Structure 1
Amino acid sequence: MIYEEIMYGVKCDRCHEIYENSDGCTVSSDKYDMEEEACENDWQEIDGRHYCPDCYTRDENDEDKIIVKPLIHYSFFKFQSLVNQLTGCHHRMSQDDTHFILRNNYCYKRMDNPRLAILREIIPDFTLEYKVPEKQSGKPYEHEIIRIPKDFKHAI
């Protein structure tokens, strides 16, 4: 028998990270159970929006007060989506104090100039680097790392 069931997941409203529970599941048929699990694992719900642990800080003077980091411009996510399409690989997003970082650990072919030109139309001031891992098995690959300044200028 085929039946339809609605599934629920929790996604960060700032960085779009998807919550994954201890069993490795990202969705559940119980909406409230999934929300509760995420909150037990340091995710925060503020005014109906959800934030992963990387997207907020706690006030030094008042531990109960949550400070959400500034929102990320939608052109960053358009850029990330286009990078994934052009390379055929998923790039994970992380960040440091000054940059957003898109990383693909298994790059088998470097991006050529026409693809880079397409990406620079969206965000002109990113840097791209490739690193060869110390240990490799199987087909040779590199780590592809794209750094975008947090105060990036976007063409959109």
Structure 2
Amino acid sequence: MPRHPPPAALVLGGAGLIPFLGLAALVILGQSLFGLAPRPLLAAYGAVIASFLGGLRWGAAAASPEGRGADYAVSVVPSLIAWASLFAPAPWDLGTLGALVLVWGLVDQDLPRRGLVPAWLGRLRLVLSGVAGLALLAAGFWGAT
């Protein structure tokens, strides 16, 4: 497995943080985005990304010769929590999503240890999940409701 992330993973991963940072800033500042409230936009984006993170584990399980059933079961947890968070009142909507993204960055660290994904992916996930999760938490608890 490659030791370093491919440039596309770095560029696309970094670009994926733009909506988190931009929308979180708008929520905190109490500003709109072209007349749209940024909080539900940020919540929706966070829920989509949380579901994507679960899909990463599903894909790793599918690619594994063992294909452990526990990995498939665990992979649906982010989608379910993210979906439920969309119905939570502020600040728990973004707070739940932020905690989920942060915790899932740690949960998935077993994937590189088990050899299911490259080590670079585990490191990249920690950075991306850290920034995204903190942006969600900041917007959730310091943003205008």
Provide the TM-score with structure 2 as the length reference: 0.26
More relative contact order in 1 or in 2 (CA 8 Å, sep 6+)? 2
Please state which structure has a larger fraction of its residues in helix.
Answer: 2
Structure number with bigger Rg: 1
